[in-house]
Amino acid sequence: MRSLWSQWPKIQEILVGKNLILLFDYDGTLAPIVAHPSQARLPAPTRAALTKLACSPRVALGIVSGRELSQLKRLVRLKNICYVGSHGLEWALPGLGPSLRISPRRSRPLRQITRELRHALRGLPKVWIERKIASVAVHYRGASVHHARSARTQLARIARQYAAQFRLQEGKKGFEFLPAGASTKGTAVQALVARLRRGRFPAVVYFGDDSTDESVFACLSKNDFGIFVGRPRLSRARFYLRSPGEVCKFLQRVCKIIV
Ligand SMILES: [Mg+2]
């Protein structure tokens, strides 16, 4: 994985004159990580660059997040942009309205596992449960090492018990129980890119900061750009940028060469 800036002249040459599909994770990629997910805001310069790009007929934009679709749309509030929420379980494409891709029969196990988690994790400070439309997440940002470890032990036990119905996915300072067989961000991006017609938008650029984004980096073709956001580490991405601030700088440069 190389710094994107170290290869910028070459990348710029590839991007000039191309129609682009620009796809982003939200937390830690477009919006800086904050103590509580409800406070994660899109920085004003990033919003301005995305607004500009969303108006260009040469750019298709999409945000692919683990957040619920309604919450993601409320935070981003941009038009002409594809929203994929709940790791690919919920979609809203411009002009098509929201669509939920989960079978309702899974809701009873979801209620059961949520009850069980509440019981198992009670009394662990800074460990909290977020019930989503199709999944249940456990966050431990800010919890002590000891409490985080206790939470992990409980989660591993519950994951074994519900293995037939849910898969446990680990992300930054959190875990999520998703329906077994549900899409990953990778399969969601493949489906989204197919819908956005690769013939018209030949180059795909995907930005992500978390282990859940690795499924996307893994499915990109050699002509696409996977960009890891954060301190460089082992990743399937081809390039890295160090922070959401650098993602913003990239978007501003793309505005100049495309719009
Ligand atoms: Mg993220």
pLDDT at residue 56 greater than cutoff 90: yes
pLDDT at 224 (0 to 100): 93
- How far does residue 79's CA lie from ligand 1's centre (Å)? 21
> Is the distance from CB of 212 to CB of 184 less than 8 angstroms?
yes
Whole-number Å distance, alpha carbon 67 to ligand 1 midpoint, is 10
Q: How far is the CA of 133 from the centre of ligand 1 (A)?
A: 19
| The pLDDT of residue 249 is above 60 | yes
Interval between CA 27 and ligand 1 midpoint (Å): 4
Cα 186 to middle of ligand 1, angstroms: 14
State mean pLDDT over 131-143.
91
* pLDDT band per the 50, 70, 90 thresholds, residue 160: very high
Per-residue confidence band for 105, with pLDDT thresholds at 50, 70 and 90 = low
The pTM of the full predicted model, rounded to 2 decimals, is 0.90
Report the distance separating Cα 178 and Cα 169, nearest Å.
7
Alpha-carbon Rg of the chain, whole angstroms?
Answer: 19
Domain map (residue ranges) of the chain: 2-101+183-258, 104-179
- How many A from CA of 3 to the centre of ligand 1? 19
Map the chain to HEC letters: CEECHHHHHHHHHHHCCCCEEEEECCECCCECCCCCHHHCCCCHHHHHHHHHHHCCCCEEEEEECCCCHHHHHHHHCCCCCEEEEHHHCEEEECCCEEEECCCHHHHHHHHHHHHHHHHHHCCCCCCEEEECCCCEEEECCCCCHHHHHHHHHHHHHHHHHCCCCEEEEEECCEEEEEECCCCCHHHHHHHHHHHCCCCCCCEEEEEECCHHHHHHHHHCCCCCEEEEECCCCCCCCCEEECCHHHHHHHHHHHHHHHC
Tokens coding 169: 């996915």
pLDDT band at 156 (very low <50, low <70, confident <90, very high): very high
For ligand 1, the distance from its centroid to the CA atom of residue 65, given in whole angstroms, is: 7
Residue type, 63: I
Say whether 104-179 and 2-101+183-258 share the same fold.
no
Q: What is the mean pLDDT of residues 118-141?
A: 93
Please give the mean pLDDT across all residues of the chain.
91
Average pLDDT over residues 80-101: 82
**Going by CATH, does the domain composed of 104-179 fall within 3.30.200.20?**
no
What architecture does CATH give domain 2-101+183-258?
3-Layer(aba) Sandwich (3.40)
pLDDT of residue 64 exceeding 80: yes
